[in-house]
Amino acid sequence: QHGSRERCELTGNLHGLHLQCRGQPEPALYNGGILKFGNSDDPDGYRTTETGVFSPAFVVYNLNKTTMYTFSCWVKLEGAYSALITARLAPDNSGARCIATVLARSDCWAFVKGGFVLDSPTQTSVIFFQNADKTPMKITVASGSLQPFTTDQWAMHQQDTIRKRRKRVATIHVADPQGARVVGASVSVQQTTKDFPIGSAIASTILGNQAYQQWFVDRFNAAVFEDELKWYSTEPMSGLLRFDVPDQMLAFVRSHHVMVRGHNIFWENQDATPRWVKNLTSPDDLRSAVNTRIQSLMTRYRGEFAHWDVNNEMLHYNFYEQRLGPNASMEFFSVAQDADPLATLFMNEYNVIETCDDVFSTVDTYVAKLKELRAGGAILEGVGLEGHFSKPNIPLMRAILDKLATLGLPIWFTEIDISNKFDAQTQAAYLEQVLREAYSHPAVSGVMLWTALHPSGCYQMCLTDWGLNNLPAGDVVDRLLNEWRTLQAGGQTDAHGAYSFSGYLGEYILTVSYNNRTTQSTFSLSPGDETRHINVQM
């Protein structure tokens, strides 16, 4: 158990791996885990076989249900220069599922990282590799590793990261005016604001609805407008600019000290492009409309939005790049940066974190596009992951976050929900898994839920009904919001005149009482590994 826990400590910390190709594969993580060569201690742990002409495979026996399996290896191609390679798991000869992807090359070794959880135990499972477009290709695999973790070990690792990254220890020292320690003073601390942004989408339905507004600000410190800033909302016809609704929504969030993301300047999806824009036949007319769009939006709201999703879902769609050329996105970023230099500019994409089955948006594809834009001069400093999940694969989610973390940029979940093909209880259970993994990953800087409320419901998942009565997903969110804050801490100063506590990052009110005297002050717990020391004079 102890050894397993130590290994568990490592899953989220891959010492700066692994977006670069390497000349040689690195040693297997966890010494290969259960993919060890058969010996007397472990006769069944590992076999290698040829499945088809070129594909190496691992055969693994007796995998358990609910166990978290993390998978990794290094791959290299022969023949083709580069290809998208998928690692797939075939349990007991039933359908194969994607457990990891990598953009592999022939001149170096690429790192594969993923994982899976099984719905039911299996006797014999095969992990094999294939070119995503199914053409035969010679794939060499090295340093394979499959490491199991119990759900308890996984949760322990999450709690450990939360303690290190989302909380901090503080010591309050109480002294009298001569500097003598005050022993037995009564200390109480109360958290007033939270450092970590957790928010939700809102729509125009929140305007004038006092109950909804109060419900929102009681819970969230971040917001994003569901549709109200999109081009089809702000300019439904050429030259007809409508900013009255987003202006009012902005006034609401501003009056409650809620940070707000700008979503979005452009959306590459043709179906989400205003009809009049689609009807512009000449590139010059389109370019002029595009420039007017950026300028009107960004000058009006300069400095108001902390983030901008500049060109939404560009891995899946290419309306503007088709018409304005391959550098269109780069130009959008450049103009946006000039118009609002203090906003953080984001890529925003779906199916990067939700699955590895979408060949358009694998983690390596996302990174390649981000690096291409940055190499072209785009000031792109935010990784936006939408998070429209079906059944979440938590080990895969962590593996993808680990890979993205090596970019050193803030990662935001921008639109989290769970598909409404599941019942409300299942949605809530899956939502809790996703939120715990997101909050506990050190590279994640904020979490937004895609739960704007309408009389008719929500996009996929609501937290409450229209009367603001909690649904199961709302119960999960309320429970986690309470868990991730310091409700109240307090006690007596010890023989050294000190009182220590561990608190979630954010702002606090500190009250100290002794001999009928009371003093109150404020302090903040900001990120840091060292104990924060606060001195109070009575």
What whole-number distance in Å separates Cα of residue 92 and Cα of residue 107?
A: 35
Q: To the nearest 10°, report the CA torsion of 315, 318, 322, 324.
A: -90
Task: Report which DSSP code applies to 25.
Answer: P
What lies within 8 Å, CB to CB, of 429 at 6+ separation is 476
Residue 90 to residues 49, 58, 97, 99, 427: CA-CA distances in angstroms? 14, 10, 7, 10, 26
Structure tokens at 59: 């055969």
Residue type at position 356? C
Please list the residues that pair with 124 across neighbouring strands. Answer: 61
Q: What are phi and psi of 361, to 5 degrees?
A: -135, 45
Q: Is 415 a catalytic residue?
A: yes
User: Distance between CA 258 and CA 225 in Å, rounded?
Assistant: 12
- Residues 6 or more apart in contact with residue 408 via CB below 8 angstroms: none
Q: In whole angstroms, what is the distance from residue 490 CA to residue 492 CA?
A: 7
Residues in the chain: 538
Which of the following is catalytic: 313, 349, 354, 415?
415
Taking Cα atoms as reference points, which of 481, 435, 499, 487 lies closest to residue 461?
435
- Tokens 């900001």 found at: 526
Token readout for 110 is: 């690429």
Half-sphere exposure for 246 (CA within 13 Å, toward CB):
28
Q: Is 197 helix (H, G, I), strand (E, B) or coil?
A: coil
Look up residue 45 and give its two tokens: 């742990």
Question: For 492, what's the count of Cα atoms within 13 Å in the CB-facing half-sphere?
Answer: 6
Residues in contact with 391: Cβ distance below 8 Å, sequence separation at least 6, in sequence order: 422, 430
Please choose, from the candidates 39, 17, 19, the residue with its C-alpha nearest in 3D space to the C-alpha of residue 29: 17
CA distance 214 to 211: 5
What long-range pairs does 294-298 form, CB within 8 A, spacing at least 24?
Answer: 294/265, 294/332, 294/335, 294/336, 294/339, 295/335, 295/339, 296/234, 296/235, 296/241, 297/229, 297/234, 297/265, 298/265, 298/335, 298/336, 298/339, 298/340
List the catalytic residues. Answer: 415
